[in-house]
Structure 1
Amino acid sequence: MRQFAEQFFKLQEKGASFKNECIAGLTTFAAMSYILVVNPNILAAGGMPIEGLITVTALAACFGTLMMALMTNYPVALAPGMGLNAFFAFTICIGRDIPWDAALGIVFYNGVLFVLLSLTGVRTKIADSIPQALKVGVQCGIGLFIAFIGLKNAGLIIDNSATLVSLGDLSEPSVMLALFGIVFTLILVVKRVTGAILISVVLLSIAGVFIMVSGQPLTATPDAIVGLPHSIGDTFFAMDLMYPLLNFAQTWDLIFALLFVNMFDTIGTLIGVSRKAKLLDSTGKLPKFGRAMTADAGASVVGAALGTSPVTSYVESAAGVSSGGKTGLTAVVVALCFLLSLFLTPVMEVIPLMATTPALVMVGIFMMESFRQLDFDDMTSMATATVAMIAMPLTFSISEGIAIGFIVYTGIKVGAGKFKEVSLLTYILAAVFLLRYIFGLT
């Protein structure tokens, strides 16, 4: 087995060792395993039956990661994406009042379209035609949106009829514990502790055993440590493929927004992790980039069939790369870890929502890092990114933030007489989004 792995993944040629690849895989899994707890909670908020979602998340991550490993031999792991799952639950299901099975149909079509664009190479032309300001604004906006959801879930932010939102009751033990968890997680991240988010989730869950809410402990005691995974019968191939087609006027922008976010999230992650792993060639390009994008897109199609939001490459893969991961064997180890984690379902099921708050806030902070890519001397870029970024959490919709961003960017450029700096695709999308608002097609 070991000899086959060394030959198949060309460990000696890549300057890698079997031991280091395994350690790197365990490191990456520790860094991203929080998704097993966070993703089911977010999808359940959109109306999906929560029983079985841990199984769905683990299987989708396992399959997607194996696809990446076998198609590219890169140490990149995949799982249902943060931001994409929030878009699924809060924008599609809650914001548009679309049933979750129909939302899975939207995810499926997004994945198929992503595959076609990846196979034909059209994705490169689309990526080049979207302004950098919008790419940055959308990524930062999604980060703020995810962090906002985390603070809301913990009760740190609550509704207020006069000011829209306000600070929650910090005298509540669960709220204070969540705040402590955020600070604690930040300290671990600053100190570069591997698996910082996972450690935080575990410790907050343990602390919840000793905190009483309405006479009950915040964290329930699991019936067992190890158990069989739940069935995915409720979500497996439950996607409604007709709804998006019959209601195309109301769903096209959601499919586009998913494609937009998924594509640029994947491109950014792949380039970032590959640069760290020294996989880029002398021209700064990633060999097998098309295969990597196809694997990512294919994983979303399979994820929709299993019953989850789009699957995408994880920036946490960089943790494994930093530990020496250089080949797809690292990804295979991650996939096996996700498979084995299914037998810890009884423990993961009792983790309280509050314990996931630091994970959401931390992911949001990581996504805000791209703001430094903006040209601060260019008011066009600054204004576009800022408006798109603020619009997402305040409208509680990623797609609306994207739409407003396109309109603002195009409007500023046209008003400043910089017509040639706007691509044809951007003009078209800005016009379509503007007409949608004018005629109330939301």
Structure 2
Amino acid sequence: MSNTLFDRLFKLQAHGTTIKKEVVAGLTTFAAMSYILVVNPSILGLSGMPVEGLITVTALAACLGTLLMAFMTNYPIALAPGMGLNAFFAFTICMSREIHWEAALGIVFWNGILFLLLSLTGVRTKIAESIPPSLKIGVQCGIGLFIAFIGLKNAGLVVDNPATFVSLGDLSDPAVMLALLGVLFTVVVVAKNINGGILMSIVLLTLIGAFVPTENGMLTQTPDAIVGLPEPITSTFFAMDIWYPIENFAQTWDLIFALMFVNMFDTIGTLIGVSRRANLLNKDGKLPKIGSAMTADATASVVGATLGTSPVTSYVESATGAATGGRTGLTAIVVALSFLLALFLTPLMKVIPLMATTPALIMVGILMMESIRQLDFDDMGALATASVALLAMPLTFSISEGIALGFITFVGVKMGMGKFKEVSKLTYFLALVFVLRYVFDLK
């Protein structure tokens, strides 16, 4: 393609950018979020899904979702299976609720369809405005704590204890100590704003793991090859059970809602944050094509469900590419192509031990806690709502329970203080539904 064609497609000159800047930005974004190729399969594998092909599924979902965003909005925003959403899929839907992974994919599918309908009709804006800010903060921070807790558990840094429920793991275990050092290393490189810092941590721990002995040999196994063809996805492609959520609506409605709730606010927050970094907001501070962006995000979740993965969403790591000059969809296309090329390194990715991915989980959890500073600590109602939501998620091992208890707390405190008009009708309705759900044990 000539420069003229690129400029016609992506309006490079109008955005004050060049092909070189867009390519560099795309590679930067990919480096920052490529850890998902390893972390997502490790989480989904815990749900009972067949591990073979999950790297391919993750890469294809990221590629297709990112291409949708590029061509529908011309924004430098990349998509992939979302952190937090994959944990919700594996630990809440499949493990806590004991729903088989095919049925869980059906729940993801209908979540995407609902999210798409709300985006196309504009109802999503009214829903977003009706949810109290304190609950949004509590949910995001709660998911962060939940993800970090999973990372600590997988690393062996936190273990179960019959007396205290949880306690410190065995730090004399070389693998556990290596995970702890990995957490420290990851925090340092991210704090120094080193692009791809989380990926660096995974690679470093994998290399060190080749010299750490375990009962079954070295922690990191020797790969069969350096490069190879991507694994097939026949075991997950269109394996979703789309009828399960309909036939068992009483048991799944809250899961669909929770997924939509988390996906919606995660997407809106990411879109605004990245767009601000890329100077894409208009004079009123609004994103011109937010409707198209939300539609692309919702469509990506539907596509992801058909491939066999948890909801696909916009990635905040896209801000790293925006910071290096990425301004258009060409940045996103570079990210999408990078995901495809990475598939040929599948043999290397398959030998990465679970321990090496745990610092990434903990680091993502730490980053999600950042929004706590937006909470009004002088408002007891807001503080209580956020605290209940963020504590309930890791302690109940369920994101949906945290959301439900957060709604009930917010409405209960406002009613108790006589501030009835400060609660939207939708929030009243949802709080009532969640109360009835607990009273009649509808789960």
TM-score using structure 2 length: 0.99
Matched residue SS, 1:159:
strand
One-letter code aligned to 2:87: A
Structure 2's unaligned 5+ residue stretches are none
Structure 1 residue aligned with 2:154: 153
Matched residue SS, 1:429:
helix
How do 1:29-428 residues align onto structure 2 when only pairs under 5 Å count?
A: 29-428=30-429
Quote the Cα distance in structure 2 between the aligned partners of 1:138 and 1:231: 36
Matched residue SS, 1:334:
helix
Identity of aligned residues (%): 73
Quote the Cα distance in structure 2 between the aligned partners of 1:258 and 1:146: 15
Q: Residue 6 of structure 1: CA displacement?
A: 2.7
Quote the Cα distance in structure 2 between the aligned partners of 1:248 and 1:441: 10
One-letter code aligned to 1:323: T
Point out 4+ residue stretches in structure 1 off by more than 3 angstroms.
none
Q: Residue 191 of structure 1: CA displacement?
A: 1.1
One-letter code aligned to 1:119: L
Quote the Cα distance in structure 1 between the aligned partners of 2:14 and 2:279: 14
Quote the Cα distance in structure 1 between the aligned partners of 2:8 and 2:218: 52
Quote the Cα distance in structure 2 between the aligned partners of 1:40 and 1:62: 16
Quote the Cα distance in structure 1 between the aligned partners of 2:324 and 2:277: 11
Task: Provide, for residues 39-94 of structure 1, a one-character-per-residue CA deviation record: whole Å limited to 9, x for no partner.
Answer: 00100101100100000000000000000000100000000000000000000000
Q: Residue 321 of structure 1: CA displacement?
A: 0.6
Task: Provide, for residues 279-336 of structure 1, a one-character-per-residue CA deviation record: whole Å limited to 9, x for no partner.
Answer: 0000111011100000000000000000000000000000001111011000000000
Quote the Cα distance in structure 2 between the aligned partners of 1:34 and 1:174: 20
Task: Provide, for residues 151-184 of structure 1, a one-character-per-residue CA deviation record: whole Å limited to 9, x for no partner.
Answer: 0001000000000000000000000000000000
Q: Residue 439 of structure 1: CA displacement?
A: 1.2
Quote the Cα distance in structure 2 between the aligned partners of 1:417 and 1:97: 40
Quote the Cα distance in structure 2 between the aligned partners of 1:18 and 1:251: 46
Matched residue SS, 1:258:
helix
Matched residue SS, 1:368:
helix
One-letter code aligned to 1:132: P
Q: Residues 75 and 317 of structure 1 are in contact (CA less than 8 Å); yes or no, is this contact kept in structure 2? A: yes
Matched residue SS, 1:49:
coil
Quote the Cα distance in structure 2 between the aligned partners of 1:87 and 1:93: 9
Matched residue SS, 1:91:
helix
Q: Residues 2 and 18 of structure 1 are in contact (CA less than 8 Å); yes or no, is this contact kept in structure 2? A: no
Quote the Cα distance in structure 2 between the aligned partners of 1:214 and 1:259: 43
Give the number of aligned pairs.
Answer: 442
Task: Provide, for residues 344-386 of structure 1, a one-character-per-residue CA deviation record: whole Å limited to 9, x for no partner.
Answer: 0000000000001110011001110011111111000001001
Q: Residue 241 of structure 1: CA displacement?
A: 0.8
Q: Residue 5 of structure 1: CA displacement?
A: 2.1
Task: Provide, for residues 86-136 of structure 1, a one-character-per-residue CA deviation record: whole Å limited to 9, x for no partner.
Answer: 000000000100000000000000000111100100000000000001000
One-letter code aligned to 1:91: T
Matched residue SS, 1:79:
strand
One-letter code aligned to 2:34: S
Q: Residues 205 and 219 of structure 1 are in contact (CA less than 8 Å); yes or no, is this contact kept in structure 2? A: yes
Structure 1's unaligned 5+ residue stretches are none
Q: Residue 215 of structure 1: CA displacement?
A: 5.0
**For the aligned residues, what is the CA RMSD?**
0.6
Matched residue SS, 2:147:
helix
TM-score using structure 1 length: 0.99
One-letter code aligned to 2:37: L
Matched residue SS, 2:93:
helix
